[in-house]
Amino acid sequence: MADLTVPSASVAPPAPGGRRGVVARRFVAHRVALTSLVLLVLLVAAVVVGPMLWRYDHTVITPDTLAPPSSRHPFGTDPVGHDMLALVMRGAQRSLAVAIIVAVLSTLLGTLVGMVAGYFGGLVDNILMRGVDLVLMMPLLAVLGLVAVRVGGTDSGWLIVAVAISLLYWTPTARVIRTQVQTLRHSDFVESARLVGASTPRILGRHLLPHLVGPIAVVTTTYVAAAIALESTLSFLGLGVQPPDTSLGLLVGDGVGFASTAWWLFYLPGAFIVVIVLLIHLIGDGLQAAFNRSSKAAH
């Protein structure tokens, strides 16, 4: 599971909206994080738009087999004759799509469970946290392997794998958010909302949720990076995205046997994984610093 470190919320200011401008300015001032965000946006745009402009589709078989990088094939070709640049762009699309789905679903589910458990406490908290413990006990690779066997090779197989990862990967968020809400639920602004008759959904959504934006933002970026690494590992092991589709992890797995003879098959998709994960981690560091410093400035 990902190591989720989030900003402290020991004392929450009553008006989180006023912090947004401060957080944005601090993030923009964090040059490494801002540069990483720009580079990531450009990279995502390239892998989304690139296949529409590139001369080869990832399914096209050319007469060039195991051709090294050249002006015709900048990333070379594989043993079958597929253009590796087209394959890497397609693989990056799939890896990013899986990572975003995992990050969004895991964050939503974990935030919901954590807020409910932290706010109500008592029996509700115990039941939900035992559910968290149960999910943590499930063998991730075994479950995903079973899913991959059942849906591998289908058009929606990658989507089902992404949802399966999400259903097993939300527990760290639940624990983080639960701790934050336990601290906030007795704050003056929450007590005031109760006194004026605010409903529980309104207190959770309007009064507590805005104070959790910092932790949620950091957790989400952590999930994107972790999900890309996990998807790549699963695909490398044959438990993630399945042929005839492809992903960066699957390309690395296919190229590992050629690492010393046709280096571009292994190192180029591997470099994409490293760069994407590194950029997302740097963005997450910038968000964490911005929220932490903003929180300190508010006290």
Phi then psi for 27, rounded to 5 degrees? Answer: -65, -45
3: pLDDT strictly greater than 90: no
Query: Tell me, what's the pLDDT at 293?
Result: 61
pTM of the model: 0.81
Q: Which residues contact 194 (CB under 8 A, 6 or more apart)?
A: 203
Query: Tell me, what's the pLDDT at 153?
Result: 58
Condensed to tens digits (0 to 9), the pLDDT of residues 14-65 reads 455 556 778 888 888 989 999 999 999 999 999 999 999 999 999 999 999 9
Residue ranges covered by each domain of the chain: 91-282
What is the SS3 assignment for 25-90? HHHHHCHHHHHHHHHHHHHHHHHHHHHHHCCCCCCCECCCCCCCCCCCCCCCECCCCEEHHHHHHH
Give the integer Cα–Cα distance in Å for 225 and 188.
36
210: preceding bond cis by omega (within 30 degrees) = no
Question: In sequence order, what DSSP letters do the residues of 166-186 get, joined into one string?
Answer: HHHS-HHHHHHHHHHHHHHTT
Query: Tell me, what's the pLDDT at 143?
Result: 81
DSSP 8-state class, residue 8: -
Class of domain 91-282: mainly alpha
299: pLDDT strictly greater than 50: no
DSSP 8-state class, residue 73: S
243: pLDDT strictly greater than 80: no
Query: Tell me, what's the pLDDT at 174?
Result: 92
pLDDT category at 79 given cuts 50, 70, 90 is very high
Condensed to tens digits (0 to 9), the pLDDT of residues 85-113 reads 999 999 999 889 988 898 899 999 999 99
The encoded tokens of residue 276 equal 């994407």
Listed residue (71, 74, 101) closest to 86, CA to CA: 74
Give the integer Cα–Cα distance in Å for 158 and 56.
23
On whether the CB atoms of residues 98 and 227 are closer than 8 A, the answer is yes
Query: Tell me, what's the pLDDT at 297?
Result: 46
298: pLDDT strictly greater than 70: no
What is the arithmetic mean of pLDDT over 210-224?
Answer: 85
On whether the CB atoms of residues 277 and 39 are closer than 8 A, the answer is no
Query: Tell me, what's the pLDDT at 41?
Result: 95
Listed residue (167, 137, 147) closest to 227, CA to CA: 167
Condensed to tens digits (0 to 9), the pLDDT of residues 120-141 reads 989 999 999 999 999 988 887 7
Count of residues for the chain? Answer: 299
Identify the weakest region by mean pLDDT among 180-184, 194-198, 289-293: 289-293
State percent of the chain over pLDDT 70: 89
Q: Which residues contact 272 (CB under 8 A, 6 or more apart)?
A: 88, 91, 92, 248
The encoded tokens of residue 140 equal 């991730």
What is the arithmetic mean of pLDDT over 260-280?
Answer: 93
Query: Tell me, what's the pLDDT at 152?
Result: 61
Average pLDDT, the chain: 84
154 or 57, higher pLDDT = 57
What is the arithmetic mean of pLDDT over 206-226?
Answer: 85
Q: What is the dihedral of CA 126, 127, 128, 131, to 10 degrees?
A: 120
Listed residue (266, 254, 271) closest to 76, CA to CA: 266
294: pLDDT strictly greater than 70: no
208 or 152, higher pLDDT = 208
pLDDT category at 155 given cuts 50, 70, 90 is low
Listed residue (40, 53, 54, 91) closest to 266, CA to CA: 91
